[in-house]
Amino acid sequence: MLPSSLLVVYKRKGKIQPRYAKLSSENLTVTNRLIKAYTGGVGEKKKVLKTFVTDLENPGFEYRFVRALALLLDRRGVFVCSSKLDPAVLRRKIFEAAEEFGLPVSPEKRQQVLEFVASKTGLTAELIEGQMYADLDSELILTKVNAPSALDLLRQYNLSLAQTLLFDCTELTFEASGNWQNLFYAVKKLGLIYDVSRDCEDVFWVKIDGPASLFKLTKRYGINIAKLLPQIISNHDWTITAKILWKYTNEVCTFAMERIKHSPLLPKPNLRQVTYDSAVEESFASQFRALESGWVLKREPEPVLAGNYVIVPDFSLERAGLKVYLEVVGFWTEEYLRRKAEKLKQVDVKMILAVDEALSCEKLTALEKRPQLHFIYYRNKISLAPILRYLKAAFEEVKTKEIKLLQDLPVKFTEPIVSYAEFADRVGVSVEAVQAVLTANVPSGYLPLSNSLVSEKKLQQIHMVLNEARKQSGKLTLSQATQLIEATGLHDVSCALTALNYKIVWRGINSEQAEIVPSKNK
């Protein structure tokens, strides 16, 4: 973040944007020169470094841009006072001496005061004169600087500009692709007032009320909103819209940021590795993924609305458009349990609660009558069996509805090969439902295979290709047959060979030596 005096913006027709620094060769050159001045200026006073900053402004560079870069470098540096004695103590002794000798209205009188203080402290008059103001900001000595690359410094400058503009926002709305646990933790830690909504596309938007919309119009609250910005952009995808009260015209302007357009100008997101709140959660995730059950496990998914509150579940389990949330209730306090129970009463999505047996108390068991919530109790380790049973039942319920939908759907196939997966994706149902319907009621002129339907005409063409290849070489290996069949667009090789009355003759374990021959059982 920067002082408001260094903020540079574009404002037009009710829209406002920071004047981001382009990652151009000119800006990189200026930034590199400034970085070299700081890295080469270790041991120099801050006022010497500021002289170099002024020299960069003179050729015509935007002074606010140069000073902001210098300020960001100042924050990365370590400045210390060079005086061995406390300059405040030296000044007090000088003032006390001046009271005794009278005001130093002449150079001689001034020297007399300094020499008197020198005799009392064991220092020289010259040293006292040089160190009496050594604690002033301009007199501090640069001892170390953790300088970034020029590119990183420019990106940090752009982020700081956006944060500074948010000081005076009346409302901030954002959407993010993940990191919700950290986002809401930051929102609460910063003391921000928020509201969550979900649009027709099931995208969650979080609205933060700004200081200009509250009865307590405070700079500190605006700074706290600005502190949230790095957390928001630490995602694969994000969108931000804010309303800014432009204090110079008392006009409310719109400020917008989006990942595709602005992320190249901002610091690269610090995408954290997946972490777990407990060993119980980590063990469950590891074992569930190892099963390869067809369900996709996602850590800390999007929030779930619970009345005026939100819950960020520990996991979501997704399959064919069906989503079931999983919340692990382990460590607890009475207050935590009370708030958790109140939120869960208002949840309207399918959610599994894996509850430590030690929590089998009235506060939670009273929720077992709610149809959206399914309770599983564990001790030390979450059992997968009851979770898989619940998921299977939930999926079968959805699959039954999808089968009914497909049966009532008037469809006529014309393609030679109909992939179950592609058709399911087009219709918006599960592959299992498509396979169940198409294999139970096979369309005329088609044969069902494991992953697709193939027309009898297409199968006959494949049969002719295989026969021709066998005639030319006298035999046909499994590898050759596979290449020929897949070249036609069909990938159910084994099922296609069975449908064409071929069998595989194995000669060892090497598939390259396996041969396909016509089956005698027709």
E-assigned strand segments in 379-507: 417-419, 446-448, 452-455, 502-505
pLDDT digits (tens, 9 = 90+) for 7-41: 888 888 888 889 998 888 888 988 888 888 888 88
CATH topology of domain 279-394: Trna Endonuclease; Chain: A, domain 1 (3.40.1350)
Instruction: Out of 24-33, 243-252, 324-333, pick the least confident.
Output: 324-333
What percent of the chain is modeled with pLDDT above 70?
89
pLDDT digits (tens, 9 = 90+) for 34-84: 888 888 888 788 888 888 888 877 766 778 888 888 889 888 888 788 777
Q: How high is the pLDDT of residue 364?
A: 58
pLDDT digits (tens, 9 = 90+) for 305-321: 777 677 788 888 988 77
Mean pLDDT of 86-98: 79
User: Is the pLDDT confidence value at 211 over 60?
Assistant: no
Mean pLDDT of 191-209: 74
CATH topology of domain 162-265: Alpha-Beta Plaits (3.30.70)
User: Is the pLDDT confidence value at 378 over 50?
Assistant: yes
Q: How high is the pLDDT of residue 207?
A: 84
Mean pLDDT of 128-142: 77
Q: How many CB atoms lie within 10 A of CB 156?
A: 18
141: nearest Cα among 34, 32, 41, 37: 41
What's the pLDDT band for 160 if we cut at 50, 70, 90? Answer: very high
266: nearest Cα among 222, 221, 242, 231: 231
477: nearest Cα among 509, 502, 513: 513
Mean pLDDT of 376-405: 86
What's the pLDDT band for 520 if we cut at 50, 70, 90? Answer: low
Contact 374, 391 (CB under 8 A): no
Residue position matching structure tokens 């002082």 = 3
**CA distances from residue 201 to 97, 257, 260, 429 in whole angstroms, order as listed:** 77, 20, 20, 17
DSSP-based three-state secondary structure for 5: helix
Q: How high is the pLDDT of residue 199?
A: 66
Sign of dihedral through CA atoms 431, 434, 437, 439? negative
Q: How high is the pLDDT of residue 511?
A: 66
pLDDT digits (tens, 9 = 90+) for 339-365: 777 777 777 788 888 887 766 555 556
Q: How high is the pLDDT of residue 159?
A: 92
283 or 338, which is more confident? 283
Alpha carbon 450 to chain centroid, angstroms: 39
Mean pLDDT of 403-423: 85
Q: How high is the pLDDT of residue 215?
A: 45
Averaged pLDDT of the chain: 81
Q: pTM of the entire structure?
A: 0.65
Mean pLDDT of 507-518: 74
Q: How high is the pLDDT of residue 8?
A: 86
What's the pLDDT band for 202 if we cut at 50, 70, 90? Answer: low
What's the pLDDT band for 331 if we cut at 50, 70, 90? Answer: low
User: Is the pLDDT confidence value at 267 over 70?
Assistant: yes
